Structure 1
């Protein structure tokens, strides 16, 4: 029995190595798996604007970030917060508990995740929460925020899985820098940009010159160690800077 199982596993691995077979299997998975269908539709709709394709999330995922942000925003009666890459709304719901008087916008390109977020909002109405299905912050119009969170957005699972030496083919640094610059345009002077669980360093972007970085001591999450520089090549070390104050 063990030998037969081993042979079947080897056969399956061999077949999946054939590009045509692998493509056919992936198509079948996209048709039968709701999550994969949503990701496929997201990629078709938003093309190259998608950053992190996987919607993995859970509530209160970053308590240290929320604690620090609470300390920084306590003087603002009704802070405006953007959850960039909000997935199914878990982060937005977490932020609501920390900031009961905030106006919160969740933006994500995955249609299934936004449907889930809106369904939860319909059951628990909150006029100060809005969800937008989009990959580009242009969908925000002229909205400005006191804090923007981009958590586990600037990374790609395949980079970790394949341990690549360059990120060019999946998520080039230029897209990180361009997206950060776009987020900067929606952040008020004196506002906080929070980036964590990313495979790039904010300090390498041109816009970083207008910010003051703050490091945090994390107990539930370690700093990312798979990092890529402006030339898309892998760099050594880790990066613990997570919160960035936009100077006046």
Structure 2
């Protein structure tokens, strides 16, 4: 390992011949590391498959998640939806978009005991883990394609929690100031535009821990914020509609109510 550390340091040598000699060594070590990890880490293999075959559909590639990760937001959504729909006998229909290995869906069941909850996930390994959970017959896990998501709609709430972002920790660590070539704003906006018609009037669109703001998108005029629930605790950089960093960061809302009338 010390040899490789030395090689990395020599990559930045002032002498071009040294840099030229070290480059293939460092490159070869990196490729060997990738191959070894690909053979031993099934989660890493699933991420590589996403990057190769779902490049235009995928947002966040990490599968990291937790149970009851956003209790304040979940409570706020539950209170709004139950108060708003208390006169109807119809069960709520909820979408967890990018549900990873299913912990968010399991958490939402605690807040919405009678709702129909759909977890949509594009990572096939994560989806298989989702489907291994013992759940009730009102919970379903589906492959995250526009057609499959639409089939199970319309929805009263769509949760996009820590999904609409790309390598946020790397972005912070490397000091990246533009996402134009990594995860451009247009990708974010396109996904929001796809989700918007699937949400019923007066329903909730929850976009939390995101690198972009719903209020910068083309559908912003159709929504109003619910309270002052925001992502001020988000530790990674945020970006504007030109994919440029917002520095210093500003506050933006996480929970959006779809207007019942657009007049």
State the TM-score, normalized to the length of structure 2: 0.83
CA distance in 2, matches of 1:224, 1:199: 10
Matches within 5 A, 1:1-248: 7-8=2-3, 10-11=5-6, 13=8, 18-75=26-83, 76=85, 77=89, 78-120=91-133, 124-134=134-144, 136-142=145-151, 143-157=153-167, 158-216=170-228, 222-223=233-234, 226-236=237-247, 237-248=249-260
List structure 1 runs of 4+ shifted beyond 4 angstroms. 14-17
- Displacement of 1:228 in angstroms is 1.0
Q: Secondary structure at the match of 2:94?
A: strand
RMSD: 2.3
Q: Deviations over 1:156-208 (max 9, x none)?
A: 22323322110012111000000001110110111000011011111110101
Kept after mapping to 1: 8 A contact 2:222/2:259? yes
The Cα shift of 1:154 comes to: 1.1
Structure 1 unmatched ranges of 5 or more: none
The superposition leaves residues 7-31 of structure 1 with CA deviations (integer Å, 9 ceiling, x where unpaired) of 4462364579844542342233122
Q: Which of the pair is proportionally richer in strand?
A: 1
Aligned equivalents of 1:179 and 1:74: distance in 2?
27
Q: Give the Cα separation in 2 of the matches to 1:224 and 1:59.
A: 20
If you compute each CA radius of gyration, which structure gives the higher value, 1 or 2?
A: 2
